[in-house]
Amino acid sequence: MATAARRDRIQQVHECGIAIAILVGIVIGCVCTILLPNDFFNSGSSKSGLASCGSEFAVISEKNAELRKQVRELTEKVRLAEQLTEIKAGPFGTVTGVRTNPTVVPDESVNPRLAKLLEKVAVNKEVIVVIANSHMKPMLEVQIASVKRVGIQNYMVVPLDDSIEGVCKLNEVAYYKRDPDKEVDEAGKSGSGPVVSGLKFLVLRDFLQLGYGVILSDVDIVFLQNPFHHLYRDSDVECMSDGHDNNTAYGFNELFDDPSMTRSRIVFTNRIWVFNSGFFYLRPTLPSIELLDRVRDTLYKSGGWDQAIFNEHLFYPSHPGYIGLDASKRVMDIYEFMNSRVLFKTVRKNEELKKLKPVIVHMNYHGDKLERMQAAVEFYVNGKQDALDSFPDGTAR
């Protein structure tokens, strides 16, 4: 019995060895066929074989590059899958949820031309993007001057007409002119600020798909410091606020009083002033891209003000008939990323706050934007202490 069993094992090993030998032979044959499909069994000259081999190696090199890309993508998918593995909660006070979502796998096939441009312009895979048409030219020129003064290198304009393209060339500013697109071209010819503003949610998608973090900036903004030095990068969305103090910007409780409910007349509500869609940072994550898609889809189907829709999708929770957006968000410091209400109603009247140097000033609350931008430069850059004094708190236009 022992002899028979040993003989069976030897036979199995023998058969296994034959199978391996056949498999190796097939693999070698396939490799040789790929390398020299025409000349492997040809007795022609060696020079012809070498020439053919060289061309085939070029093809193989391209295939290897594609395979390496696929390996990178698969590796990223494995990494994402590992983050979804089950974990146990730790002791009280040690548990924190995941708010920093993984970034998407860059897909250069989405926009090869933009991908090549961003390789030259972006710093640490991040870039500032500004969308402008000729109606915004004076403000854009003030902004470009402020960007150059601060020394920001990763700044890019998306011109909507030839005039803005000319401004970029004259000032040696990087710009990206999109391929002809009816929706974008018609908006570029429009003098409407809201129409142009709504385009950002269409334009930014390619940047995120290519794997770049993006600061979207309106043109009515003066840069006084490099904003990338003041980001947390722990959320999908970091955005400046329309709030004018800690309560309105960061959230507060407000009581709702209904006397008809007698003993239960008081109800607590949570309030926060909206995020400003004229200056925000997006990490290249799926929730960020979904946000862009949702806002663009709502604007296309229903119209409306892009900032209101932007906030609805950021804050509205899931409820019957609606699935909320699962995006993490952070509001920016109102004294670093300053709106013009904060500047003209609070800061300029407070001697201590006047000593602070904001990162940006956004003239979002006022119609006389250009004049106030120029005044902010005089005050913060040139040191003219009364540069802001002549303006009223509000604006007539």
- Which of 190-204, 293-307, 325-339 holds the top average pLDDT? 325-339
Nearby residues of 361 by Cβ (< 8 Å), 6 or more positions away: 221, 222, 224, 338, 339, 340, 343, 373, 376, 380
Decide if 91 is inside a domain: no
- Model confidence, pTM: 0.79
Number of domains in the chain: 1
Q: What is the pLDDT of residue 191?
A: 59
**Chain segment 140-197, per-residue pLDDT in tens:** 999 999 999 999 999 999 999 999 999 999 999 999 998 887 767 776 666 566 677 7
Decide if 93 is inside a domain: no
Mean pLDDT (whole number) for 351-357:
97
Domain that holds residue 294: 108-382
Mean pLDDT (whole number) for 327-347:
98
- pLDDT band, residue 324 (cuts 50/70/90): very high
Decide if 34 is inside a domain: no
**Chain segment 263-277, per-residue pLDDT in tens:** 999 999 999 999 999
Task: Quote the CA–CA distance of 337 and 222 in Å, as a whole number.
Answer: 10
Task: Quote the CA–CA distance of 194 and 277 in Å, as a whole number.
Answer: 11
Task: Quote the CA–CA distance of 222 and 371 in Å, as a whole number.
Answer: 12
Decide if 69 is inside a domain: no
Task: Quote the CA–CA distance of 136 and 120 in Å, as a whole number.
Answer: 26
Q: What is the pLDDT of residue 43?
A: 44
CATH number, position 191? 3.90.550.10
Cα dist. 195→70, 183, 282, 295, 304 in Å? 39, 10, 21, 13, 10
Q: What is the pLDDT of residue 16?
A: 47
Decide if 166 is inside a domain: yes
Decide if 378 is inside a domain: yes
- Which of 23-37, 100-114, 173-187 holds the top average pLDDT? 100-114
pLDDT surpasses 70 at 13 = no
Decide if 7 is inside a domain: no
Do strands 360-362 and 213-217 pair parallel, antiparallel, or not at all (unpaired)? unpaired
Task: Quote the CA–CA distance of 204 and 295 in Å, as a whole number.
Answer: 12
pLDDT surpasses 70 at 55 = no
| Token pair recorded at residue 197 | 């503003």
Of 22-31, 32-41, 183-192, 388-397, which gets the smallest average pLDDT?
A: 32-41
Decide if 197 is inside a domain: yes
